Structure 1
Amino acid sequence: MMSTFEQPTKLAAPIEAPAPAPHVSGIFHDLEALKIQQHEAGLAGSTEVLTRIPVRKPQRDEYFRVRPGDEFTTVLYEDRTARVNYFITPAMLPLLRAVSNVSVVTLVPFITRQKMLGIFPLKLATDAIGDNGWQTTAMAAAQLAKTKWVRMQADMALSGYRIFSAEGQLSEPEWPDTPFNELLDIAFKDHVISSQDHPVLNRIMGRI
């Protein structure tokens, strides 16, 4: 007879052998051995060489900043078919004004969150074209963009742009060291009307 103080013997649970670790046999079996330093990848100390700078307003989904202190007021001819802005030299301005519409603009450099650098042509009111909501709201957005990340969205009912400020604590833009006049030289490369035999003038005046 079993004593009241005796407990039945419990059978020990069987010990399960650990599952074998998966065997990685490819080149990526040891990532630490494949890591490279920035200087080995050619990244350290590299600087982008600017070869193209678009002349346009920021797109509706682009948050952008404007570089303070850089602005230049001039006259542009906008080829709306090709979506290209041409810089007009002072000597050619009377002729262009006589045969086509031109725009008085203030050019300012802008940069997006994707580090795309551009030139924003802010249209100004003239004797021929009065002030309107599109001009004033674009100018307000460019002014605010000197200190904050903003984006512009066209609103036909408003007859202007709605301006939105980024809600996050975004880092400051990284501007290139390139002077403003050199940025303009890159932006308008091959897009300067400086002579009467320029292809744009030949087309406007029906020579070709």
Structure 2
Amino acid sequence: MNTPINSPAHTTPADASTHEEAKQILAEQAEDALMAKLRISQSYADAIVGVKKPLLTVAVRKPNKNEFFRVHPSHFLDCCLIEDKTERENFFVLPEVVPIVSSFVEGVRLHFCVTRQDVVFLWPVKLPREDRRGDAWRKSAADCASLAQDRWVRITADMNLGAYQPYVAMADLGDPKWPEESWSKVFQLATRDRMIESEQHPLIRRLLGQE
């Protein structure tokens, strides 16, 4: 008597569908487990929102050609600067030191500025000279600063025009976000390590050939 041989079970389309659904459920459960590991609580998100970024550094520079910025309408200062072209740094000079290095000193109006990215900087716009040298550059810079008091502006140096060319933002970019720090505090940060108070300052000695 022959013993019957059991043949493999035949897989129906319904069984295949059930198998695929089971695999999908396992994948989704694994994904949910990973998300559960990474998910942060709402209290953490609230804490991040409440973080305050203190203002620690304020640059003294021209606006970059690709950044839109605003100028504060009432915070500015007329003062004297020396540009250290070697180090590409600006130094503030006390009036009593100016006569010693007058040929290196520029009178500027220092404007309080902020960019769309909330970066604070001071823009030294050169004041007009008696000999009117570079007058178009100086006047156009002053005009751009005035325009930026009410509008978001970016500027470029147009060599063909021989002046700064302003571009006004077409969209409504909202109001500028000025820092909580006072104008006095902003100015202190800008002048830190950049004050020339005597002729013994290393930059003065270098300009006069004393070292």
Q: Same fold (TM over 0.5)?
A: yes
CA deviations on 1:21-49 (whole Å, 9 max, x unpaired) are 33363663348x71333656643433222
- Given that 2:147 and 2:153 are in contact with CA atoms closer than 8 Å, whether structure 1 keeps it comes out as yes
- Counterpart residue number, 1:158: 161
Q: Distance in 2 between matches of 1:46 and 1:36?
A: 16
Equivalent residue for 2:93, pick from 64, 88, 104:
88
- Counterpart residue number, 2:144: 141
Letter of the structure 1 residue corresponding to residue 34 of structure 2: F
- Counterpart residue number, 2:10: none
Call closer, same or farther: CA 1:129–1:34 in 2, change over 3 Å: same
Call closer, same or farther: CA 1:38–1:141 in 2, change over 3 Å: farther
CA deviations on 1:77-106 (whole Å, 9 max, x unpaired) are 111121111000122111121xx3211100
CA deviations on 1:90-127 (whole Å, 9 max, x unpaired) are 22111121xx3211100011111111110000111122
Letter of the structure 1 residue corresponding to residue 77 of structure 2: F
Residues 37-56 of structure 1 correspond to what in structure 2 (within 5 A)?
37=42, 42-56=47-61
Q: Distance in 2 between matches of 1:125 and 1:38?
A: 56
After the TM superposition, which of the residue ranges 102-111 and 37-46 deviates more from structure 2?
37-46
- Counterpart residue number, 1:3: none
After the TM superposition, which of the residue ranges 178-187 and 39-48 deviates more from structure 2?
39-48
- Given that 1:38 and 1:44 are in contact with CA atoms closer than 8 Å, whether structure 2 keeps it comes out as no
- Overall identity of the aligned pairs, in %: 30
Q: Does 1:77 align with 2:77?
A: no
Q: Distance in 2 between matches of 1:77 and 1:46?
A: 37
- List runs of 5+ in structure 1 lacking aligned partners: 1-13
Q: Distance in 1 between matches of 2:201 and 2:90?
A: 14
SS in 1 for 2:199: coil
Equivalent residue for 2:67, pick from 58, 62, 67:
62
Q: Distance in 2 between matches of 1:17 and 1:134?
A: 76
> RMSD in angstroms over aligned alpha carbons?
2.3
Number of residue pairs matched by the alignment: 192
Residues 1-208 of structure 1 correspond to what in structure 2 (within 5 A)?
17=17, 19-20=20-21, 21=24, 22-23=27-28, 25=30, 28-30=34-36, 34-37=39-42, 42-97=47-102, 100-130=103-133, 132-208=135-211
The offset of 1:135, in angstroms, is 1.2
Letter of the structure 1 residue corresponding to residue 165 of structure 2: R
Call closer, same or farther: CA 1:17–1:55 in 2, change over 3 Å: same
Letter of the structure 2 residue corresponding to residue 29 of structure 1: M
The offset of 1:173, in angstroms, is 1.4
- List runs of 5+ in structure 2 lacking aligned partners: 1-12
The offset of 1:129, in angstroms, is 4.7
SS in 1 for 2:112: strand
After the TM superposition, which of the residue ranges 17-26 and 155-164 deviates more from structure 2?
17-26
Q: Distance in 1 between matches of 2:61 and 2:137?
A: 15
Which is richer in helix? 2
